[in-house]
Amino acid sequence: MILESFPVGVLGCNCTLLGDEAAGEALVIDPGDEVGRIARRLSELGLRLKQILITHAHIDHVGGALKLKRLTGAPILMNQADLPLLRMMDQQAAWLGTEAPEVEPPDESLADGLVVGLGAYPAQVLHTPGHSAGSVCLYFKPLDLLIAGDTLFAGSIGRTDLPGGSYAQLMESIRTRLLPLPDQTRVISGHGPETTIGRERVANQFLRELH
Ligand SMILES: [Zn+2]
């Protein structure tokens, strides 16, 4: 198994590459920027990209998706509740003072319960609205791994003041979808360092009110 996570773009969105050497396949989650570097890494590893998975449609997570799709032919999957955010890409770019990337609607919606990923490494889609209406987490149960997007961070939670955000929904998503996961679940968040569900359960002060 190949699992690499590295920050891309000015906001340092953690882009994750998961590969299965035996099958020669990979998936990429949140190629927000630096698509050339991501594509180069895939070819260095000799992996064919099967899916581009988007945790939510903020520019720093989805910005490079269409470029990567055009380079590799891989489909883009994103929850459809974030389509309004995708249509606001010019506005999102203006918030950052950058140029808007070209975007297109996803090839398929990351609907709750859908199983995506690679044959050897399947992931269940957990719809976790709150940071945005279409935010999802990807739970690779056989790997004890959660890709959390901007829903949960080490010691923090996602902001809820952007369009489609809701603090009440975010807390409900974390309570009902993430905290039931086993303590040993490794969490790769959308920004910053890795953590585990167990560590956040005891040490994340934003989650105190959920106990
Ligand atoms: Zn975000």
- Per-residue pLDDT 10s for the chain (211 aa) are 999 999 999 999 999 999 999 999 999 999 999 999 999 999 999 999 999 999 999 999 999 999 999 999 999 999 999 999 999 999 999 998 999 999 999 999 999 999 999 999 999 999 999 999 999 999 999 999 999 999 999 999 999 999 999 999 999 999 999 999 999 999 999 999 999 999 999 999 999 888 6
Q: 131 C-alpha vs ligand 1 centroid, how far in Å?
A: 7
Cβ distance 53 to 83 under 8 Å?
no
pLDDT of residue 45: 98
pLDDT of residue 211: 66
Q: 79 C-alpha vs ligand 1 centroid, how far in Å?
A: 14
Helix (H) or strand (E) holding 95: helix 89-96
Q: 23 C-alpha vs ligand 1 centroid, how far in Å?
A: 32
End-to-end CA distance of the chain: 36
Q: 199 C-alpha vs ligand 1 centroid, how far in Å?
A: 22
Q: 8 C-alpha vs ligand 1 centroid, how far in Å?
A: 13
User: Measured between alpha carbons, how far is 173 from 167 in angstroms, rounded to an integer?
Assistant: 10
Q: 22 C-alpha vs ligand 1 centroid, how far in Å?
A: 33
Cα distances from 18 to residues 6, 93, 124, 130, in angstroms, run 12, 28, 15, 26
DSSP secondary structure letters along 34-88: -HHHHHHHHHHHT-EEEEEE-S---HHHHTTHHHHHHHH-PPEE--GGGHHHHHT
Ion ligand 1 contact residues with beta carbon within 5 A? 58, 150
User: Measured between alpha carbons, how far is 40 from 195 in angstroms, rounded to an integer?
Assistant: 28
Q: 14 C-alpha vs ligand 1 centroid, how far in Å?
A: 11
Cβ distance 15 to 191 under 8 Å?
no
Q: What is the pTM of this model?
A: 0.97
Q: Which amino acid is at 32?
A: G
User: Measured between alpha carbons, how far is 197 from 136 in angstroms, rounded to an integer?
Assistant: 16
Q: Read off φ and ψ for residue 19, nearest 5 degrees.
A: -130, 150
pLDDT of residue 106: 98
pLDDT of residue 111: 98
pLDDT of residue 97: 92
Cα distances from 78 to residues 21, 25, 32, 156, in angstroms, run 25, 20, 13, 24
Q: 163 C-alpha vs ligand 1 centroid, how far in Å?
A: 11
pLDDT of residue 210: 82
